[in-house]
Amino acid sequence: MSTAPGGWLHIPDGTPATDIGLDLGSKNPDIGILKPGQGKDPDSSEPGCQVGPKDPKDYAWFQRVLARVGAASLTAFAGDGESTAALLTTRQGSDFFQGFAHAASGSVQDQDYTLLGEKFEGTDHVFRLNGNRVQAFSGVAADVLDSLVTRKEPKRQADIAAYRHQVHARRAKEHGTFWDHTWGGVVSIGRDGTVLAMRQIPPFRDE
């Protein structure tokens, strides 16, 4: 599988992107990368997972694996353990995220902020840094996260195809680290719609 210009994974014929959200099932491909021997040396195997060119079915499966893991990284960053678990297999550690809500009480929307004019949803922490109280918010652009959240009622599956199109469209948007005067602190936006924002919290009056 190769990467085409613009960041898209090359999709071989017969593996349409509309199927990218299908369940991974219990497929368990052979582990190991075949390394051809040199001269009289026999072939050997290196650690890894190899998608052979003679089995197009593996291309579609592996594409779904990559897409779902990428989506799971966003939901985990936003603190939504339930949606993260739904995107991973047991071997990938879905059990770890079952019933787990990062710094929240069961909802990915425990915090939302408008940063640099865009709405983000996620979770936050408050801690001390050199004696000062600091708030750190980690989240994902609301439109991207909405495609992946499965815990909302009625229950639904993540729309992986929509998520990929939204993230790809965001590549043309400005990203980087900026000072947001309304937020009152530093905001760092990634190309995939993730955000990390930090600001100092005014001290209590008795401090």
Residue 117 lies in a domain: yes
pLDDT on residue 111:
87
**Which residue stretches of the chain are H helix?**
56-77, 81-87, 94-97, 142-148, 160-170
- The answer to whether 92 touches 35, Cβ cutoff 8 Å, is no
C-beta of residue 141 within 8 angstroms of C-beta of residue 193: yes
Residue 121 lies in a domain: yes
For position 89, what pLDDT does the model report? 78
14-46 per-position pLDDT tens digit: 545 667 777 777 776 666 777 888 888 888 878
Instruction: For CA atoms 119, 121, 126, 129, give the dihedral sign.
Output: negative
pTM of the model: 0.73
Residue 122: per-residue pLDDT: 92
Q: 122 near 137, Cβ under 8 Å?
A: yes
pLDDT tens for each residue of 79-103: 888 888 888 877 777 777 665 544 4
What pLDDT sits at residue 204? 65
Q: Identify the three-state secondary structure at position 162.
A: helix
**Is 9 part of any domain?**
no
Report the domain count for the chain.
1
Residue-range definition of the domain harbouring residue 154: 17-200
Asked whether residue 146 is assigned to any structural domain, the reply reads yes
What's the pLDDT at 152? 63
Check residue 17 and give its pLDDT.
61
Using alpha carbons, list the distances in angstroms from residue 180 to 113, 132, 145, 175, 187.
12, 19, 22, 13, 6
The region that residue 148 occupies, defined by phi over 0 for left and psi between -120 and 50 for alpha, beta otherwise, is alpha
pLDDT of the chain along its 207 residues, tens only? 444 445 555 555 554 566 777 777 777 666 677 788 888 888 887 877 777 666 666 777 788 888 888 999 998 888 888 888 888 877 777 777 665 544 443 444 578 999 999 999 998 888 898 888 999 999 999 999 988 887 665 667 888 888 888 888 888 888 999 999 999 999 999 999 999 999 999 876 555
Whole-angstrom Cα distance, residue 191 to residue 136? 19
Residue 24 to residue 26: CA distance in whole angstroms: 7
What is the per-residue pLDDT for 62? 80
Within-domain flag for 1: no
In a domain, 8, yes or no: no
* Predicted pLDDT at 205: 58
Residue 99 included in any domain: yes
Cα 165 to Cα 7, 39, 44: the distances in Å are 11, 46, 39
Identify whether the C-beta of residue 149 lies closer than 8 Å to the C-beta of residue 160.
no
Alpha carbon distance 196, 122 (integer Å) = 10
49 inside domain: yes
Q: How buried is 86 (Cβ within 10 angstroms: 0-12 exposed, 13-18 middle, 19+ buried)?
A: buried
